[in-house]
Amino acid sequence: MAKWGMVFDLRRCIGCNACAVACKQENTLPNGMFFTKTLSEEVGVYPNVTRVYIPTICNHCEDAPCERVCPTGATYTREDGIVLVNHDLCIGCGTCVVACPYDQRTRLEPEMLERGLFNNGELTPFEKQGNVRFTAGTVQKCTFCHERVDAGLDPACVVTCPTEARIFGDLDDANSKVRKLIHEHRGRQPLPEKNTNPRVFYID
């Protein structure tokens, strides 16, 4: 069984957020909600200065704090490592939102859906077909596009990334591109001090 993971190549990321919009398309996310987004930060002092772009996503941690704290067992880890939320079990207590050290979980407030993408209280046909997945009051997050992955496809953010800064693959396969990149470039996990063992690695 594969263990899915992702590598972000910080050298390639141009902070365009095509990933964020592709994700919004794929998952019909309401305004203000992101399953992935790119942060930017200026580093240095003029004229010796640059800006780093840092893609972020649910890290699908092997030891996921969100799963540990979930009182109902709604958050669970699939055999292939993908961390998901069972919305039938989620009571929206928000404990996981606080517990996630990476700020990757959002409680779906009813008004986020009701306002609609165009903020006029009406839903477009696109939203109507997409919002059926949502239960208001439950917690949402990146699913690694688990349905695409089950069908043998890459996640939506990966296929759209103009610079191929996102690489998805099997962390258990020594010959996978993700494993090679992590090995060759000494891939780093985000906030290792949190002991969550993320399945997301950054290289630069």
Partner 1 sequence: MDLSTQPVQNSMKPGKWVNSTCKMCLHSCVTRIHITDDGVVNKIEGQPTAPSNNGRLCPKGNAAILRHYDPTRFKTPLRRTNPEKGPGIDPKWEPLSWDEALDIVGRELKRTRDEDPRKLLPAINDFQKLFLWAWPAAFGSANYFSSVGNFCGGGYHPMNGFVHSAFAAANDVNYCNYWINNGGGDGFSSHLHVTSAANHMAKARIERNMRVVVVEPRLSIGGAKANEWVPIRPATDRQFALGLCHVLVYEKLYDVKFLKKDTNAPYLVGPDGYFVRNAEGKIYIWDAGDGEAKLWDDPSIKDFALEGTYQVEGKECKPSFQKFKDILRDCTPEQMSEVTTVPADTIRRIAREFAKAAQIGSFIEIEGRLLPLRPAGYNFYRGAQGHKYSAMTNQSFKLVNFLIGAIDTPGGHVGATLDDQMQEIRGGCGMINAGENGMMKTMPHQLHPEVPFSYPPNETHLMGYFPIGVDPGHLTQHTLENPEKYGLNYKPDTMLLCHSNPVWNLSGNREKWFELLRSLRFIVAIDILPNESNEWADIILPAHDLLESWNLTMIEPPHHEGMCLRQPATEPLYDTKSEEDIFNEISERLGILEIWNNIQNFVNGFPQKPELLLDPKTKYGDKEIAERKGKLWNGQDLNWYIEHGHAVTPRKPEKWYRPWEGMRLHFYIEDILAARDDLKKKMEDANVAIRHEWEWYDYQPLPTPKLDPVHEEPQEFDMYAITFKDIQINFGESIGNPWINDIVFKDPVHTSVLLNTATAKAKGLADGDIVRIESPYGSIIARVSSSQGVHPETVCVSNALSRIATQNSAVRLGGGNFNELLPSNLRNTDACSGQPETVAKVKLTKLTTMPAEFMASKSAYAHGRGH
Contacts of 198 (CB under 8 A, 6+ apart): 59, 60, 61, 62, 102, 189, 190, 191
Determine, following the binding rule CB under 8 A, whether residue 76 of this chain makes contact with partner 1: no
Determine, following the binding rule CB under 8 A, whether residue 42 of this chain makes contact with partner 1: yes
**How far is residue 32's CA from residue 11's CA, in Å, rounded to a whole number?**
27
Q: Of 89, 38, 52, 45, nearest to 67 (Cα)?
A: 89
Q: Which of 1, 79, 103, 120 binds partner 1 (CB under 8 A)?
A: 120
Determine, following the binding rule CB under 8 A, whether residue 89 of this chain makes contact with partner 1: no
**How far is residue 104's CA from residue 190's CA, in Å, rounded to a whole number?**
12
Determine, following the binding rule CB under 8 A, whether residue 132 of this chain makes contact with partner 1: yes
Long-range contact list for 125-133, CB < 8 A, 24+ apart? 126/28, 127/28, 129/28, 130/27, 130/28, 131/28, 133/27, 133/28
Determine, following the binding rule CB under 8 A, whether residue 184 of this chain makes contact with partner 1: no
SS3 content of the chain, % helix, strand, coil (to 5): 25, 25, 50
Backbone angles phi, psi at 111, to 5 degrees: -70, -20
Determine, following the binding rule CB under 8 A, whether residue 104 of this chain makes contact with partner 1: no
Q: Which of 1, 49, 174, 193 binds partner 1 (CB under 8 A)?
A: 49
Determine, following the binding rule CB under 8 A, whether residue 75 of this chain makes contact with partner 1: no
Determine, following the binding rule CB under 8 A, whether residue 95 of this chain makes contact with partner 1: no
> Considering beta carbons, is residue 59 or 160 the nearer one to partner 1?
160
The residue range among 69-77, 94-102, 103-111, 125-133 that interacts with partner 1, by the rule CB under 8 A, is 125-133
Which residues contact partner 1 (rule: CB under 8 A)? 9, 11-12, 14-18, 20-22, 24-28, 31-32, 34, 37, 40, 42, 44-47, 49-53, 117-120, 122, 124-126, 128-130, 132-133, 143, 145, 147-148, 151, 153, 156, 159-165
